């Protein structure tokens, strides 16, 4: 047994990593729904989920249980095989794309093995291409669900989504070419490291500034690819009931739901990596005092949660909230006491903070923006995003060429 | 049997079964799905040979763009189950003959160039993105540019055809 483990260590590590990442992503997904409902509610002057657990914190679990125990009818006249395949495909592809994302630069040393954060191998030289390949297949989940349901609204939703995704995929791919030209690599780790070439520039070394056009195109196209507001025409509820997943219930519906939220996370990670320096700190590298920032955020937040929790109206809340607050404060203190641990946590801390900001922007947009009309959507994608991203590619190439010309003299 | 060999046989079997299923299925969407399986299995085979870039592009272009268009058109036309007419008498014997000839030709080509293909795969000239781009933009730049010109003409043609006549 021990010998078998030693010879297949990489395999075992990868399987453990996959299980762990799956658990984390599904949990984050669940709480993303809570986060979204809370933020949208506050935008609209409501309270949001409030009954199940303190501040509605147990709502995701209640929803998850509900998905499991609901009746799962199969409508008459559906194409059975494709009807069952579609949600599986959507979920599997969405989860696979997370595997390509690297979450931190340094390995953890455990049992004599360097374990890197992220499942894909370090030298995955087609990193971003592999991600685009997976997103390119992702459209089948939606399109086939719409077609196989044998119902009018899903078919319209499926048709809309395939047209939308084909159109916006072009702009999505073209808008990152500028970043790829600057990094000279498809590898996501290389792309982040290229943004660290001037450690003292901090936030001004990120791709965001030279590639601002590319970023705007990329984020817009990515929102459209994930079928979120204001591009959620495939499931426009006022026109199409629920669009492509109208005929899906129970856990099959949940699979589409999880797939959508997972692709939101992937897109946020990708924006962070391509344009916002990935795990790089926004401060110059010599400002080592900024390493205490996680503690500076965690300890006051934890204390506030304790204070707030002690005054909560239910007994359960008065126990749970101070507990969470104590854990957060303890974590913040531990980071101060253990400098080695604190240094390690810096990169993942910045990565996750940036991803969280993008997820907030997603939710913010949902609470603010109205939906596009279909012809507006098509005109926007083809007549604005695509030309602008092509102009961005040409501009970037000229600048890089000019630098090569004059740099060598 | 080594692990890559097992993976090869699984992917090859997937590709062949997908291709046969493509013909046997009666509904266009099922046929299109089988073709997607073939494309993805082929991408896996390229990956196995170390041609990462070609594998990714195979999925993006064939598995993604082109097949999505197929599925989209089938959905748009709402094509139903195809009807089989009585089989043509010409299709049987000449078809088999053609299959045999094609199979012999492919087998002969593989037998002749098997060693050189393996060598090419091992040198990595085709596997790295850099190697491919150098070949495309240095050795084959004129054919490449001509092809892109051809595609541009085709796009213009599509736009002209799609434009409604002014009334």
Q: Where are the beta strands (DSSP E) in B56-143?
A: none
Q: A115 forms bridges with which residues in the sheet?
A: A108
A348-396 per-position pLDDT tens digit: 888 899 999 999 998 998 888 888 888 888 888 888 999 999 999 999 9
The residue whose two tokens read 């390119």 is A136
Task: Please answer yes or no on whether A129 and B57 come within 8 Å at the CB atom.
Answer: yes
Q: Would you give the DSSP letter of residue B75?
A: H
Return the closest-CA partner of residue A153 out of A256, A251, A234, A74.
A234
Candidate from A79, A130, A133 with C-beta closest to B64: A133
Mean pLDDT value of segment B73-96 = 76
What's the pLDDT band for A101 if we cut at 50, 70, 90? confident
Which ranges of A70-151 does DSSP label H, i.e. alpha helix? 80-98, 127-148
A10-44 per-position pLDDT tens digit: 788 888 888 988 999 989 998 998 999 899 899 98
Task: Please answer yes or no on whether A130 and B56 come within 8 Å at the CB atom.
Answer: yes
pLDDT of B147 strictly over 90:
yes
Candidate from A125, A132, A143 with C-beta closest to B52: A125
Determine the length of chain B.
167
Q: Three-class SS of residue A115? A: strand
Structure tokens at B50: 């170390």
Task: Please answer yes or no on whether B59 and A133 come within 8 Å at the CB atom.
Answer: yes
Report the pLDDT value the prediction gives residue B124, as an integer from 0 to 100.
Answer: 57
pLDDT of B151 strictly over 80:
yes
pLDDT of A81 strictly over 70:
yes
Q: Name the residue in chain B with its Cα closest to that of A170.
A: B65
d(CA A155, CA A311): 51
Determine the length of chain A.
409
Q: Three-class SS of residue A108? A: strand
Task: Please answer yes or no on whether B64 and A169 come within 8 Å at the CB atom.
Answer: yes
A191 touches chain B (CB under 8 A): no
Report the pLDDT value the prediction gives residue A357, as an integer from 0 to 100.
Answer: 92
Q: Name the residue in chain B with its Cα closest to that of A129.
A: B56
Predicted TM-score (pTM) of the model is 0.85
Structure tokens at B138: 């240095």
Which ranges of A115-229 does DSSP label H, i.e. alpha helix? 127-148, 152-183, 188-194, 212-225
Could you tell me the sign of the dihedral formed by the alpha carbons of A394, A396, A397, A401, in that order? Answer: positive
Q: What percent of chain A has pLDDT over 70?
A: 96
pLDDT of B102 strictly over 90:
yes
Instruction: Using an 8 Å CB-CB cutoff, list chain B residues near A82.
Output: 29-30, 33
* Residues 6 or more apart in contact with residue A368 via CB below 8 angstroms: A43
In degrees and rounded to multiples of 5, residue A94 shows phi and psi of -60, -40
Q: Three-class SS of residue B7? A: helix
A186 touches chain B (CB under 8 A): yes
The residue whose two tokens read 């949990």 is A27
Report the pLDDT value the prediction gives residue A120, as an integer from 0 to 100.
Answer: 76
Torsion of CA A197, A198, A201, A207, to 10 degrees: -30
**Straight-line distance from the first to the last Cα atom of chain B, in angstroms, rounded to the nearest whole number:** 69
Candidate from B52, B55, B69 with C-beta closest to A166: B69
Task: Please answer yes or no on whether B75 and A155 come within 8 Å at the CB atom.
Answer: yes
d(CA A242, CA A179): 37
């Amino acid at each position: 047994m021990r010998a078998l483990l030693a010879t297949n260590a990489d395999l075992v590590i990868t399987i453990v990593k996959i299980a762990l990442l799956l658990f984390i992503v599904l949990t984050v997904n669940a709480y993303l729904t809570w986060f979204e409902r809370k933020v949208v509610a506050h935008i609209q002057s409501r309270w949001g989920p409030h009954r199940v657990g303190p501040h509605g914190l147990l709502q995701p679990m209640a929803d998850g249980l509900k998905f499991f125990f609901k009746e799962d009818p199969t409508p008459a006249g559906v194409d059975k095989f494709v009807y069952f395949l579609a949600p599986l495909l959507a979920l599997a592809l969405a989860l696979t794309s997370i595997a390509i994302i690297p979450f931190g630069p340094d390995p953890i040393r455990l049992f004599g093995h360097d374990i890197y954060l992220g499942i894909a191998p370090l030298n995955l030289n087609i990193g971003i291409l592999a991600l685009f390949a997976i997103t390119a297949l992702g459209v089948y989940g939606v399109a086939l669900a719409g077609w196989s349901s044998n119902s009018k609204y899903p078919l319209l939703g499926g048709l809309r989504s395939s047209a939308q995704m084909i159109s916006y995929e072009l702009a999505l791919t073209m808008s990152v070419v500028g970043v790829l030209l600057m990094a000279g690599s498809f590898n996501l780790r290389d792309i982040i490291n290229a943004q660290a070439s001037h450690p003292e520039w901090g936030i001004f070394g990120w791709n965001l500034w030279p590639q601002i056009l590319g970023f705007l195109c990329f984020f817009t196209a990515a929102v459209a690819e994930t079928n979120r507001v204001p591009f959620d025409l495939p499931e426009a509820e006022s026109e199409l009931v629920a669009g492509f997943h109208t005929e899906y219930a129970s856990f099959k519906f949940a699979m589409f739901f999880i797939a959508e939220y997972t692709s939101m996370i992937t897109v946020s990670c990708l924006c962070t990596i391509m344009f916002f320096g990935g795990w790089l700190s926004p401060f110059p590298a010599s400002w080592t005092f900024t390493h205490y920032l996680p503690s500076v955020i965690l300890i006051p937040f934890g204390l506030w949660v304790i204070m707030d929790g002690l005054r909560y109206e239910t007994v359960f809340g008065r126990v749970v909230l101070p507990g969470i607050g104590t854990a957060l404060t303890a974590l913040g203190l531990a980071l101060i006491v253990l400098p080695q641990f604190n240094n390690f946590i810096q990169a993942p801390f910045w990565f996750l903070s940036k991803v969280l900001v993008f997820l907030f922007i997603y939710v913010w947009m949902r609470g603010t923006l109205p939906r596009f009309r279909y012809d507006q959507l098509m005109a926007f994608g083809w007549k604005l995003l695509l030309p602008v991203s092509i102009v961005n590619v040409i501009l970037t190439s000229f600048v890089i060429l000019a630098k090569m010309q004059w740099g060598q003299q | 049997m080594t692990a890559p060999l097992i993976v090869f046989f699984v992917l090859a079997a997937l590709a062949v079964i997908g291709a046969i299923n493509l013909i046997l299925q009666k509904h266009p969407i099922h046929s299109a799905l089988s073709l997607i399986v073939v494309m993805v299995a082929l991408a896996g085979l390229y990956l196995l040979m170390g041609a990462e870039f070609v594998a990714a592009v195979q999925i993006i272009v064939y598995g993604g763009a082109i097949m999505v268009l197929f599925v989209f058109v089938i959905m748009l036309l709402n094509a139903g189950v195809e009807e089989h007419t009585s089989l043509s008498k010409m299709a049987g014997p000449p078809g088999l003959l053609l299959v045999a000839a094609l199979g012999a030709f492919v087998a002969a080509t593989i037998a002749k160039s098997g060693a050189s293909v393996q060598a090419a795969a091992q040198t990595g000239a085709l596997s790295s993105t850099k190697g491919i781009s150098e070949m495309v933009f240095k050795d084959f730049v004129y054919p490449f540019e001509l092809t892109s010109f051809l595609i541009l003409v085709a796009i213009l043609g599509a736009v002209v055809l799609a434009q409604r006549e002014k009334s």
